[in-house]
């Protein structure tokens, strides 16, 4: 009898154990680690995407016209691009004519290998003295020019025009885009051939930006061959079209070189707006390396954050320029740099970059830059 009860107890226990194996899984045994893993993966993906967005957004903001247009007469001004909400690319309103001296001046310099698809050999830029400072001047025939012209290799006005108050500082003429009036004004200004101090040409301004020159590589090539290429035979030194700091500018320029394979491109022009010195160096270096080791001129740059983050203060910017100037002097192919900000209204760019005070004098930053580059 006892043996029978013992057997029944063992059997009942076994059945209970079997039944319990089909019960609900405990909550702490759910796939929480898996959910956490997916969340972690999404977070990593978001971080990578954010980095990509920041990288591709750098230097890609188009710039509106300068509000300093009133500083000069407007009767024959080049029309400015439509204003946008970001950084500026002013166009001058000067009505002055170029000097009429007839002494011929050709530019010769370091010879660099031509880029693939380009048959001509770039002759580079000849500069005088040790300074690598250029100037972007939007203020027309202002007497303030003399305050900023010391130690400057050359200047430009975002147009074909030079200013009567330049005191003989070399003036680089620009064909801003392919608008009929600009092309006509440019051809008129260059019809007599190069003269002393006016023998360098700058190509179109920020061709890859809708708010700026906004040209396809093919349209730019056609206009180049019509209005700029003939100047090579006259002795002008020709600077390539300029893109904004948007990385798509590299792609644009490579397409331009493909469709303008027989064009003369003596040096590259570069724009840069960001906050990191290493980024600045690598960006400028890329334009030298990717396009036949040509000379490079930085025609606009500033320490400016267009990615929604904090702007840098004056101390940071001063240190940036100190180090940038030291680096530039070690690069023989980097011929000149024109920091953005010789104006009273910075057009949305961090005012710590400003080089002109409200009274037309140099800011502390300008004094430093003019002594270091």
Can you give the pLDDT at residue 160? 97
Residue 125 has a pLDDT of 56
| Residue 363 φ then ψ, to 5° | -80, 170
336 closest CA partner among 113, 89, 154, 139 = 154
Identify the pLDDT of residue 155. Answer: 97
Q: What pLDDT was estimated at residue 127?
A: 52
Q: What is the pLDDT of residue 31?
A: 28
Question: Residue 272's pLDDT is what?
Answer: 98
The residue assigned the tokens 């993906």 is: 45
pLDDT tens for the 373 residues of the chain, in order: 444 444 454 444 444 443 444 443 333 322 222 222 222 222 222 222 222 222 323 333 333 333 222 223 222 333 333 333 333 344 433 333 223 222 233 333 333 333 333 333 455 555 556 799 999 999 999 999 999 998 899 999 999 999 999 999 999 999 999 999 999 999 999 998 898 899 999 999 999 999 999 999 999 999 999 999 999 999 999 999 999 999 999 999 999 999 999 999 999 999 999 999 999 999 999 999 999 999 999 999 999 999 899 999 999 999 999 999 999 999 999 999 999 999 999 999 999 999 999 999 999 999 999 999 9
Q: What are the structural domains, with CATH classification, of the chain?
A: 56-372 (3.20.20.80)
Provide the whole-model pTM: 0.69
**Long-range residue pairs from 32-38, CB within 8 A, at least 24 positions apart, any chain:** none
Tokens describing residue 212? 């700026």
Q: Is 200 helix (H, G, I), strand (E, B) or coil?
A: strand
The alpha carbon torsion through 38, 40, 45, 51 (nearest 10 deg) reads 170
- 68/345 Cα distance (integer angstroms): 7
pLDDT of residue 303: 98
């Amino acid at each position: 009898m006892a043996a029978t009860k013992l057997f029944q107890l063992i059997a009942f226990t076994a059945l209970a154990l079997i039944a319990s194996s089909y019960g609900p899984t405990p909550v702490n045994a759910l796939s929480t680690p898996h959910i956490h893993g997916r969340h972690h993966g999404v977070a990593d993906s978001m971080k990578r995407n954010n980095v990509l967005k920041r990288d591709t957004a750098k230097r890609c903001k188009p710039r509106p016209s300068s509000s300093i247009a009133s500083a000069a007469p407007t009767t024959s001004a080049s029309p400015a691009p439509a204003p946008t909400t970001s950084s500026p690319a002013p166009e001058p309103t000067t009505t002055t004519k170029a000097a009429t001296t007839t002494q011929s001046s050709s530019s010769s310099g370091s010879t660099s290998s031509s880029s693939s698809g380009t048959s001509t050999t770039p002759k580079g830029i000849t500069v005088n003295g040790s300074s690598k400072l250029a100037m972007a001047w939007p203020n027309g025939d202002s007497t303030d020019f003399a305050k900023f012209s010391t130690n400057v290799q050359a200047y430009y006005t975002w147009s074909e025009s030079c200013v009567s108050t330049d005191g003989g500082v070399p003036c680089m003429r620009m064909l801003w885009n392919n608008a009929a009036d600009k092309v006509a004004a440019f051809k008129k200004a260059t019809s007599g051939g190069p003269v002393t101090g006016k023998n360098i040409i700058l190509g179109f301004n920020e061709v890859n930006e809708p708010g700026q020159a906004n040209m396809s590589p093919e349209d730019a090539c056609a206009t180049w061959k019509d209005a700029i290429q003939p100047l090579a035979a006259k002795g002008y030194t020709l600077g390539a079209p300029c893109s904004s700091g948007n990385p798509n500018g590299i792609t644009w320029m490579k397409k331009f070189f493909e469709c303008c394979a027989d064009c003369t491109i003596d040096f590259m022009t570069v724009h840069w707006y960001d906050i990191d010195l290493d980024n600045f160096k690598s960006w400028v270096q890329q334009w030298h390396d990717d396009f036949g080791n040509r000379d490079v001129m930085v025609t606009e740059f500033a320490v400016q954050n267009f990615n929604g983050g904090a702007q840098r203060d004056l101390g940071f910017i001063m240190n940036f320029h100190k180090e940038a100037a030291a680096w530039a002097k070690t690069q023989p192919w980097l011929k000149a740099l024109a920091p953005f900000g010789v104006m009273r209204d910075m057009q949305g760019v961090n005012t710590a970059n400003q080089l002109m005070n409200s009274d037309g004098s140099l800011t502390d930053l300008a004094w430093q830059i003019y002594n270091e580059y």
